[in-house]
């Protein structure tokens, strides 16, 4: 696989970098550690953020702002005339394939456009391949890795070791297999209830068919899977009745005109009494089939028990309304626009740790209560006792008015998920009462039927009864034949949904197991180098060995110390100091980055040594230079370090120009002025100053003049190794120039007094009597104090000349090539 280094970066109009028409250009060596130094406020973070914006399409600091703050509006430099940010990147391959250039533009209207001047197809996709956690690392990321929860660390770690796609897919699959999601999205739970209810209803219809068949055709032989035979038997029984034979001869019981049959019987005898007998026969059949068994009451008892458990779970966590409140609070504290993860968004009190895990634990308790509630609703929908109540309340023979039917309000409450325990207790009492009532009504109906049968001719009683049961048979068969195919379709669907559920559950588990094993393999792979690096970073520190382990069946990654002054397996987070925690984090990041084989082959580190003392800083830099740098080791990485640290600056200066180190310093006055690399841009500063001063634009030209002077003075100090007392560097910005000049002139005086100054007498005299006073008097004193005569363009052009003349005092003509060169030091060429 071709991998890429970052060869060059050009930025204009982005964040603190204005550079109108003259982008900040940074060139990087692929086989060296690249360091960039700048004092605070000059624009290092803008460089880091520009790379982040190019690769990820956002600036984390701005993304974290609240919507009302309109963070997006701060991507472009506020003073850039075109209100457009441009970031040009050149990526160099590690296998000789051509460079890739990418241009990312953020227009004033907010549009982000990514193009490739080198013709790379799909440049956005190319940038996406660079999105690895180790590519852009700042102090916050190091600090965070140790202090976050094991789960968050696990997810960060997955990303860090190139397993982020596995982690994301696993999370996605987890969501897809979650029972709650399957139940609601696929409707599995609802269908399950529907199928159970329909099955019970169909079973009742089956019983009605068999019972009616047995009454008409005689017991035995009927089975629901032999429905055709049952129909024939019932038809045949009706045909054997002389009165009905003419009506049945050409029909089956299913097509029989029952009205005509009843009229035929009425013609014989009976009339009203026969109709009543018919109704009583139906009532007796219906009531006999709805006996309330002990099991039905026990079923409702079970539901009451479940409801009480649900009540107890809800009571233990508090009011229902709190659930929503907690969920909203969780959304706030985990949102990008919440400023402090330890602060409660409701009462604004600050805790001693992140609120997220506490909220999640409380919400989990509520979820358990909600689960119990859902279970109760589900059980109610399929409960035999409730169904028996419905049947009895709806039975015509029971003569219960709609307004008195308890199940109507109860079904509504169940649908809303608002079933109260008291409602279920009422239902239990009602069912017991209904059974008593049912027995009484049944007894009455049986008595009335017997009385009527005594009054009517026996033959007619039998015919009426037979016809009544034949009608019940016909009606039940019609119901059965309509309901059975629908139920079958639902059963098939349910089977299919359960099959999917089984499949996805197994598949996700299988994926999760494989992913966990892979992560552990990767962890084991980096463990040794991580421990080795940590030992190097904290040289002289305690011999502790950080160990990483991923918990089984979860993404949690625990960070422990295998050896802490002889003690085993202790928490690194709890024991290590901030700097040591960061040393562990840097060891982990760097060890994992070294093992990575994806597209990016570079790592940008922004102020990552903030918590380190000088010794640890140098140890880290040394490890980068000698152990991890591409060039030092074949599988190494290109490092780009951004720093404001003054001790590191000296270290960078010392190594600059060697084969393994490339150091650049930034100078400038953001956000209005330009930001430049001092070594490359000093001549351009002079040209800019000249151009504006010649045009009489003093306000624009003067800052360039100041930058030019600063560059030249820094150049003289650096090239001639002029000692500058540390306190000079820490003085206020307004005094920087005069302290530089003072340091230079004092050093010359000192060397001259010692009789060792390499400068000519003329140069010393010009420096002390003309150039330095001219610069100080005409520019520096006014610039730093605001006192004296305001500048005019001619005076400033004179200062520009004096700056070059001052610098010229520190040069000589090389006789070998006639070129002007700086003295090596004040006492030698």
Q: Are strands 638-643 and 112-115 parallel, antiparallel or unpaired?
A: unpaired
Q: Which is nearer to another protein, 233 or 526 (CB)?
A: 526
CB of 318 to another protein, least distance (A): 25
Point out which span in 487-495, 617-625, 651-659, 732-740 binds another protein (CB under 8 A).
487-495
Q: Measured between alpha carbons, how far is 819 from 827 in angstroms, rounded to an integer?
A: 20
Number of residues near another protein (by CB under 8 A): 39
Q: Which is nearer to another protein, 80 or 153 (CB)?
A: 153
Decide if 7 contacts 99 (C-beta within 8 A): yes
Q: Does 175 bind another protein (CB under 8 A)?
A: yes
Strand, helix or coil at 57?
coil
Q: Measured between alpha carbons, how far is 773 from 781 in angstroms, rounded to an integer?
A: 10
Q: E strands along 585-636, which residues?
A: 602-606
Point out which span in 179-187, 225-233, 353-361, 649-657 binds another protein (CB under 8 A).
179-187
Q: Does 493 bind another protein (CB under 8 A)?
A: yes
Q: Does 114 bind another protein (CB under 8 A)?
A: no
Decide if 44 contacts 644 (C-beta within 8 A): yes
> What are the two backbone dihedrals, phi and then psi, of residue 667, each rounded to the nearest 5 degrees?
-135, 150
CB of 514 to another protein, least distance (A): 4
Q: Does 338 bind another protein (CB under 8 A)?
A: no
Q: Does 186 bind another protein (CB under 8 A)?
A: yes
Q: Measured between alpha carbons, how far is 741 from 359 in angstroms, rounded to an integer?
A: 60
CB of 497 to another protein, least distance (A): 7
Q: Measured between alpha carbons, how far is 705 from 699 in angstroms, rounded to an integer?
A: 10
- Quote the crossing angle between the two packed helices 578-595 and 614-623, to the nearest 10°: 10
CB of 25 to another protein, least distance (A): 30
Q: Does 404 bind another protein (CB under 8 A)?
A: no
Take residue 532 and report the two structure tokens written for it: 């080795």
Take residue 697 and report the two structure tokens written for it: 């634009």
Q: Which is nearer to another protein, 500 or 812 (CB)?
A: 500
- Quote the crossing angle between the two packed helices 150-160 and 164-177, to the nearest 10°: 130
Q: Does 518 bind another protein (CB under 8 A)?
A: yes
Q: Does 268 bind another protein (CB under 8 A)?
A: no
Residues of span 28-57 touching another protein by CB under 8 A: 56
Q: Which is nearer to another protein, 269 or 492 (CB)?
A: 492
> Measuring CA to CA, which residue among 545, 526, 547, 543 is closest to residue 592?
526
Q: Which of 185, 418, 443, 635 binds another protein (CB under 8 A)?
A: 185
CB of 14 to another protein, least distance (A): 21
Q: Distance between alpha carbon 568 and the CA centroid of its chain, in Å?
A: 34
Q: Which of 487, 504, 729, 750 binds another protein (CB under 8 A)?
A: 504
Q: Which is nearer to another protein, 165 or 539 (CB)?
A: 165
Q: How far apart are the first and last CA of the chain?
A: 50
CB of 259 to another protein, least distance (A): 37
CB of 228 to another protein, least distance (A): 23
Q: Which is nearer to another protein, 207 or 499 (CB)?
A: 499
Q: Does 128 bind another protein (CB under 8 A)?
A: yes
Q: Does 61 bind another protein (CB under 8 A)?
A: no
Q: Does 513 bind another protein (CB under 8 A)?
A: yes
Point out which span in 17-25, 133-141, 497-505, 776-784 binds another protein (CB under 8 A).
497-505
Q: Which of 320, 499, 654, 820 binds another protein (CB under 8 A)?
A: 499
Q: Which is nearer to another protein, 450 or 489 (CB)?
A: 489
Task: Show the binding pattern over residues 133-172: x = contacts another protein (CB under 8 A), - = does not.
Answer: --------------------------------xxxxx-xx
Q: Which is nearer to another protein, 445 or 516 (CB)?
A: 516
Q: Which is nearer to another protein, 598 or 773 (CB)?
A: 598
Q: Does 331 bind another protein (CB under 8 A)?
A: no
Number of residues that make up the chain: 829
Q: Which is nearer to another protein, 511 or 618 (CB)?
A: 511
DSSP 624: I
Task: Show the binding pattern over residues 434-473: x = contacts another protein (CB under 8 A), - = does not.
Answer: ----------------------------------------
Q: Measured between alpha carbons, how far is 258 from 278 in angstroms, rounded to an integer?
A: 12
Decide if 91 contacts 7 (C-beta within 8 A): yes
Region for residue 51 given its phi and psi (left: phi exceeds 0; alpha: psi -120 to 50; beta: otherwise): alpha
CB of 489 to another protein, least distance (A): 8
Q: Measured between alpha carbons, how far is 320 from 145 in angstroms, rounded to an integer?
A: 36
Residue in this structure with the two tokens 């100053």, named with its chain if needed: 689
Q: Which is nearer to another protein, 508 or 538 (CB)?
A: 508
Q: Which of 20, 367, 479, 525 binds another protein (CB under 8 A)?
A: 525
Q: Measured between alpha carbons, how far is 141 from 589 in angstroms, rounded to an integer?
A: 10
Cα atoms in the Cβ-side hemisphere of radius 13 Å centred on 255: 7
Q: Which is nearer to another protein, 51 or 682 (CB)?
A: 51
Q: Does 512 bind another protein (CB under 8 A)?
A: no
CB of 177 to another protein, least distance (A): 10
CB of 439 to another protein, least distance (A): 46
Q: What is the chain's percent helix, strand, coil content, to nearest 5?
A: 60, 10, 25
Q: Which of 62, 64, 176, 614 binds another protein (CB under 8 A)?
A: 176
Q: Does 127 bind another protein (CB under 8 A)?
A: no
Q: Which is nearer to another protein, 133 or 681 (CB)?
A: 133
CB of 164 to another protein, least distance (A): 9
Which stretch of DSSP H or E encloses residue 10?
Answer: strand 4-12
Q: Which of 514, 567, 687, 813 binds another protein (CB under 8 A)?
A: 514
Q: Which of 375, 492, 569, 814 binds another protein (CB under 8 A)?
A: 492
Region for residue 657 given its phi and psi (left: phi exceeds 0; alpha: psi -120 to 50; beta: otherwise): left
Q: Does 506 bind another protein (CB under 8 A)?
A: yes
Point out which span in 177-185, 338-346, 582-590, 615-623 binds another protein (CB under 8 A).
177-185
Point out which span in 175-183, 577-585, 788-796, 808-816 binds another protein (CB under 8 A).
175-183
DSSP 387: H
Q: Does 429 bind another protein (CB under 8 A)?
A: no
Decide if 286 contacts 397 (C-beta within 8 A): yes
Which stretch of DSSP H or E encloses residue 92?
Answer: strand 85-93
Q: Measured between alpha carbons, how far is 687 from 328 in angstroms, rounded to an integer?
A: 58
Q: Measured between alpha carbons, how far is 88 from 116 in angstroms, rounded to an integer?
A: 9
Strand, helix or coil at 24?
strand
CB of 354 to another protein, least distance (A): 19
Long-range contacts formed by 582-585: CB under 8 A, 24+ apart? 582/139, 582/142, 582/143, 582/146, 582/608, 582/611, 582/612, 583/534, 583/537, 583/538, 583/612, 583/616, 583/620, 584/146, 584/534, 584/546, 584/559, 585/141, 585/142, 585/143, 585/145, 585/146
> What are the two backbone dihedrals, phi and then psi, of residue 496, each rounded to the nearest 5 degrees?
-65, -40
Other CB atoms within a 10 A radius of the CB of residue 315 amount to 10
Point out which span in 138-146, 180-188, 272-280, 658-666 binds another protein (CB under 8 A).
180-188
Q: Does 503 bind another protein (CB under 8 A)?
A: yes
Provide the binding-site residues for another protein, judged by CB under 8 A: 56, 128, 131, 165-169, 171-173, 175-176, 181-182, 185-187, 489, 492-493, 496-497, 499-500, 503-504, 506-507, 510-511, 513-515, 517-518, 521-522, 525
């Amino acid at each position: 696989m071709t991998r890429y280094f970052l060869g060059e970066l050009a930025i204009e109009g982005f964040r603190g970098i204005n550079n109108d028409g003259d982008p900040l250009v940074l060139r990087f060596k692929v086989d060296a550690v690249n360091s960039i130094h700048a004092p605070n406020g000059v624009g290092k973070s803008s460089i880091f953020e520009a790379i982040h914006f190019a690769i990820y399409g956002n600036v984390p600091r701005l993304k974290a702002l609240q919507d009302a703050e309109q963070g997006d509006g701060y991507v472009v430099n506020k003073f850039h005339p075109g209100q457009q940010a441009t970031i040009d990147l050149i990526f160099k391959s590690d296998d000789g394939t051509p460079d890739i250039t990418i241009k990312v533009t953020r227009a004033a209207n907010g549009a982000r456009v990514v193009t490739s001047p080198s013709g790379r197809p799909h440049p956005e996709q190319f940038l996406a391949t660079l999105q690895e956690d180790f590519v852009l690392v700042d102090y916050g990321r190091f600090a965070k890795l140790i202090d976050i929860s094991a789960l968050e660390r696990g997810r960060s770690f997955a990303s860090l070791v190139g397993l982020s796609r596995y982690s994301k897919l696993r999370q996605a699959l987890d969501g897809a297999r979650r029972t709650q999601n399957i139940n609601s999205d696929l409707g599995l739970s609802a269908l399950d209830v529907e199928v159970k209810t329909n099955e019970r209803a169909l079973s009742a219809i089956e019983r009605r068919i068999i019972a009616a068949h047995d009454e008409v055709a005689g017991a035995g032989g009927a089975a629901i899977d032999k429905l055709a035979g049952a129909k024939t038997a019932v038809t045949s029984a009706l045909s054997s009745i002389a009165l009905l034979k003419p009506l049945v001869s050409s029909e089956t019981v299913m097509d029989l005109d029952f009205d005509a049959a009843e009229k035929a019987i009425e013609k014989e005898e009976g009339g009203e009494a026969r109709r009543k007998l018919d109704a009583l026969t139906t009532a007796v059949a219906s009531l006999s089939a709805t006996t309330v068994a002990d099991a039905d009451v026990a079923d409702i008892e079970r539901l009451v028990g479940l409801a009480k458990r649900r009540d107890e779970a809800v009571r233990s966590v508090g009011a229902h309304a709190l659930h929503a409140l907690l969920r909203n609070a969780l959304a706030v504290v985990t949102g990008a626009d919440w400023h402090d993860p330890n602060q409660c968004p409701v009462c604004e009190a600050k805790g001693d740790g992140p609120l997220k895990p506490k909220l999640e634990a409380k919400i989990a308790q509520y979820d358990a209560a909600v689960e119990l509630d859902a279970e109760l609703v589900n059980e109610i929908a399929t409960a035999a006792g409730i169904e028996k109540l419905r049947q009895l309340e709806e039975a015509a023979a029971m003569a219960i008015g709609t307004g008195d039917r308890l199940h109507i309000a109860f079904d509504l409450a169940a649908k809303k998920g608002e079933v109260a325990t008291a409602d279920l207790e009422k239902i239990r009492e009602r069912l017991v009462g209904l059974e008593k009532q049912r027995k009484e009504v049944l007894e009455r109906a049986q008595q009335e039927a017997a009385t009527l049968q005594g009054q009517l001719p026996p033959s007619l009683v039998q015919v009426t009864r037979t016809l009544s049961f034949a009608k019940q048979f016909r009606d039940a068969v019609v119901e059965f034949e309509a309901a059975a195919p629908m139920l079958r379709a639902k059963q098939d669907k349910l089977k299919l949904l359960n099959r999917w559920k089984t499949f996805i559950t197994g598949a996700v588990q299988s994926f999760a197991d494989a992913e966990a094993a892979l992560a552990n393999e990767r962890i084991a792979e980096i463990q040794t180098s991580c421990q080795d690096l940590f030992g190097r970073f904290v040289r002289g520190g305690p011999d502790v060995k950080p160990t990483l382990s991923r918990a089984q069946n979860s993404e949690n990654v625990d960070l422990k110390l295998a050896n802490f002054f002889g003690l085993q397996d202790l928490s690194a987070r709890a024991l290590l100091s901030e700097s040591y925690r960061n040393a562990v984090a840097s060891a982990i990041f760097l060890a994992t980055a070294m093992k990575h084989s994806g597209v990016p082959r570079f790592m940008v580190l922004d102020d990552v040594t903030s918590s380190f003392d000088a010794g640890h800083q140098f140890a880290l830099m040394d490890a980068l230079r000698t152990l991890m740098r591409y060039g030092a080791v074949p599988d190494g990485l290109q490092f780009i370090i951004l720093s404001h640290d003054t001790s590191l600056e000296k270290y960078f200066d010392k190594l600059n120009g060697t084969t393994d180190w490339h150091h650049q310093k930034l100078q400038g006055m953001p956000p209005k002025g330009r930001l430049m690399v001092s070594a490359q841009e000093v001549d351009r500063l002079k040209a800019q100053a000249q151009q504006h001063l010649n045009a009489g634009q003093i306000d624009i030209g003067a800052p360039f003049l100041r930058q030019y002077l600063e560059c030249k003075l820094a150049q003289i100090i650096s090239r001639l190794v002029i000692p500058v007392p540390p306190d000079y560097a820490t003085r206020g910005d307004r005094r920087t120039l005069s302290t530089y000049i003072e340091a230079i002139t004092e050093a010359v005086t000192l060397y001259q007094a010692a009789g060792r100054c390499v400068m000519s007498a003329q140069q010393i005299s010009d420096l002390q009597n003309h150039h330095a006073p001219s610069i100080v008097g005409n520019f520096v004193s006014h610039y730093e104090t605001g006192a004296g005569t305001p500048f005019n363009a001619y005076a400033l052009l004179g200062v520009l000349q004096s700056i070059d003349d001052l610098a010229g005092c520190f040069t000589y003509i090389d006789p070998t090539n006639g070129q002007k060169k700086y003295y090596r030091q004040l006492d030698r060429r």
